Amino acid sequence: MNEMNIANARYDVDRDGNNVTIIATIGGVKMHISIPSEGNRHYDEIMRRVEAGTLTIADAE
Amino acid sequence: MASNSKNLAELLNSDVTLTATDIANGAVTTDKIADGAVTAVKTTSVGKAKNLFYNGAMQIAQRTTSAVTVSDNSNEGYSTVDRWKIDFGSAMGGALVAEPVGSPAGNSEFERSLKLSCSTVNGGSMASGSTRFLSVAQYLEGKDLQHLAYGTSDAKDTTYSFWVYTNKTGRYGFSVISQDSSSGFDVWGSYFDVTTANTWQKVTFTVPGNTSADIINTVTYGLLVDIYLAIAANRAGVTNATWQGYSTARVPGVYTDYVDFLDNTSNVFYVTGIQLETGSQATDFEHRRYGEELSLCQRYYFKSGSQWMSGQSYGTNNSQDGLIMPIYWPTTMRANPSVSFSGGSDGLSGAALYTAWVEEEGMSVNLRSTNAYTSVWWSGFTVTADSEL
């Protein structure tokens, strides 16, 4: 129930250009999170913040 | 008294104190105990995997066995021992050093403990309006708790027990928060007092089954159990030892009843032997084999060795071209984990590690060249998979 520090969120894509992963720095660690991953606390919090408008996931590089 | 069997019957009916010699060795044989003579409450959890907590003896520390400085949003959460979370709730100030260590003398049953040492005092207010707290906590999966029958008239009592050792005498908080199938929350809160410094003390709470709310039956958390080392004003005020709806308060009384562990850098707190079992009695701690406990913890976190990952790759562009290496987790994880890479050495500046897919059963590492048509390699990296609650 503590606040999670999430920064530098961006998508990563497969060969067909589909968003398949979110890469983000969480608590100072670069994490790779598959899409979707309901039940993963990082994924759930990212999606909650995106829906609340407090986090934006950048396009893949 | 003509025989030992007669002696036992007489003793049981007369409610007298048994002495060591009242029942001779071998006198109580199976055929002398009638079916049903020993009630279920006296046999609950006997011979089963009874401890619902993970890593209660603090043996497993995959992340690190070294000391880690923890503060709000810095190494907060899971930093040392597996499954035990250090929570600086609501921007709690100060910092502590967490470290899995050998236990102080006086409790030979538990070789390992989680040691917390205050390293920076809490300069923030704990008074009215504050929801801060500091706790050691564990989340338990709802699917593991359905046998407790919460939300029914058959809801089972549970007993929590653990050992603490600290120089900081005073009152500490304890709470159990349940999440129901409608994502509502109930809380049962109480406290314990440490009256003697630097002495091991066993703490026990028996929590009645919650008949008014069930426990969610998914892989999300069904129970959150906290041991509080600091409590701010708005976290205190529940009715002691009673299930009730949860909003903010978690423990009874007022915040000044409780210690603020982060008020002095000389404060040290050890905890170990944490057990949750069904029934109303605290029985002996269930010591699991190291490998068994490690395997159980790997449902929530896995850290690979540092030498068994390497590869060479050649890609035409910066996408999922290049080498893909499958890895299977040692056990099925709770949910798709978050994956990170660390260490090793990369060949050429264009080498980069990504994931191709990640699931509960395993993943594929993708070694890419970010410079098209350039050969790259990476040797000896570590993969971590985090599926904690």
Pair of tokens at residue B314: 């050649």
The rounded mean pLDDT for chain A is 93
**Residue of B273, B239, B264 whose CA lies nearest to B104:** B273
pLDDT tens digits for range B7-19: 555 655 666 666 7
Looking at beta carbons, which residues of chain A come within 8 Å of B87? 1-2
Closest-CA distance, B82 to chain A, in angstroms, reads: 16
Integer CA distances (angstroms), A37 to B91, B130, B202, in order = 27, 34, 40
B141 touching A, CB under 8 A? Answer: no
Neighbouring C-alpha atoms within 13 Å toward the C-beta of B254 = 4
pLDDT at B198: 98
Integer CA distances (angstroms), B184 to A49, B35, B163, B246, B309, in order = 21, 42, 31, 8, 44
**ipTM of the assembly?**
0.96
Dihedral over alpha carbons B363, B364, B367, B368 (to 10 degrees): -100
User: How many CB atoms sit inside 10 A of residue B178's CB?
Assistant: 27
The partner residue sitting opposite A31, judged by closest CB among B220, B338, B389, is B338
Banded model confidence at residue B214, pLDDT cuts 50, 70, 90? very high
Is the pLDDT at B199 greater than 80? The verdict is yes
Looking at beta carbons, which residues of chain B come within 8 Å of A34? 336, 355, 357-359
Banded model confidence at residue B312, pLDDT cuts 50, 70, 90? confident
Pair of tokens at residue A41: 């606390």
Give the strand order in the sheet containing A6-13.
A6-13, A19-26, A29-34, B338-342, B382-386, B301-303
Asked if the Cβ–Cβ distance from A39 to B334 is below 8 Å, we say yes
Asked if the Cβ–Cβ distance from B319 to A1 is below 8 Å, we say no
pLDDT tens digits for range B318-332: 666 678 889 999 999
Is the pLDDT at B79 greater than 90? The verdict is yes
pLDDT tens digits for range B125-156: 999 889 999 999 999 999 999 999 999 999 99
The pair phi, psi for residue B35, each rounded to 5°, is -55, 130
Identify the weakest region by mean pLDDT among B60-69, B99-108, B303-312: B303-312
pLDDT at B83: 98
Q: Which residue has the tokens 């597996």?
A: B82
User: How many CB atoms sit inside 10 A of residue B215's CB?
Assistant: 27
**Nearest residue in A to B317, CA atom:** A15
| Type and span of the H or E element at B231 | strand B221-231
Looking at beta carbons, which residues of chain A come within 8 Å of B218? 39
Banded model confidence at residue B374, pLDDT cuts 50, 70, 90? confident
Average of per-residue pLDDT across A41-46: 96
Pair of tokens at residue B66: 């070294």
DSSP B341: E
Is the pLDDT at B184 greater than 80? The verdict is yes
B339 touching A, CB under 8 A? Answer: yes
pLDDT at B211: 98
d(CA B260, CA B133): 9
Is the pLDDT at B206 greater than 90? The verdict is yes
Looking at beta carbons, which residues of chain B come within 8 Å of A21? 354-355, 358
pLDDT at B5: 47
pLDDT at B46: 58
pLDDT tens digits for range B164-180: 999 999 999 999 999 99
Pairing label, strands B382-386, B338-342: antiparallel
Please work out, in degrees rounded to the nearest 5, the angle formed at the alpha carbon of residue B279 by the alpha carbons of B115 and B178: 65
The rounded mean pLDDT for chain B is 90
Looking at beta carbons, which residues of chain B come within 8 Å of A16? none
pLDDT tens digits for range B241-295: 999 999 999 999 999 999 999 999 999 999 999 999 999 999 999 999 999 999 9
Contacts of B326 (CB under 8 A, 6+ apart): B362, B363, B364
The partner residue sitting opposite A37, judged by closest CB among B224, B335, B389, is B335
Average of per-residue pLDDT across A15-35: 94
Chain centroid to Cα B83, Å, comes to: 5
The partner residue sitting opposite A2, judged by closest CB among B88, B220, B389, is B88
d(CA B313, CA B367): 6
pTM of the model: 0.89
Pairing label, strands B95-102, B112-120: antiparallel
Asked if the Cβ–Cβ distance from B339 to A33 is below 8 Å, we say yes
| Type and span of the H or E element at B8 | helix B4-14
B386 touching A, CB under 8 A? Answer: yes
pLDDT at B73: 87
Chain centroid to Cα B120, Å, comes to: 25
pLDDT at B1: 44
Q: What percent of chain B has pLDDT over 70?
A: 88
Query: Between residues 52 and 91 of chain B, which touch chain A (CB distance below 8 Å)?
Result: 72-77, 87-89, 91
Asked if the Cβ–Cβ distance from A40 to B338 is below 8 Å, we say yes
Average of per-residue pLDDT across A34-44: 96
DSSP B59-109: ---SS-SS-EEEETTBS-BSSSSTT-EEEEETT--SEEEEEEEEPPTT-TT
Asked if residues B68 and B79 have their Cβ atoms less than 8 Å apart, the reply is: yes
Asked if residues B119 and B138 have their Cβ atoms less than 8 Å apart, the reply is: no
B224 touching A, CB under 8 A? Answer: yes
d(CA B272, CA B115): 9
Integer CA distances (angstroms), B34 to A36, B9, B14, B31, B39, in order = 57, 12, 19, 7, 11
pLDDT tens digits for range B9-46: 565 566 666 676 777 777 777 777 777 776 665 665 55
Asked if the Cβ–Cβ distance from A34 to B321 is below 8 Å, we say no
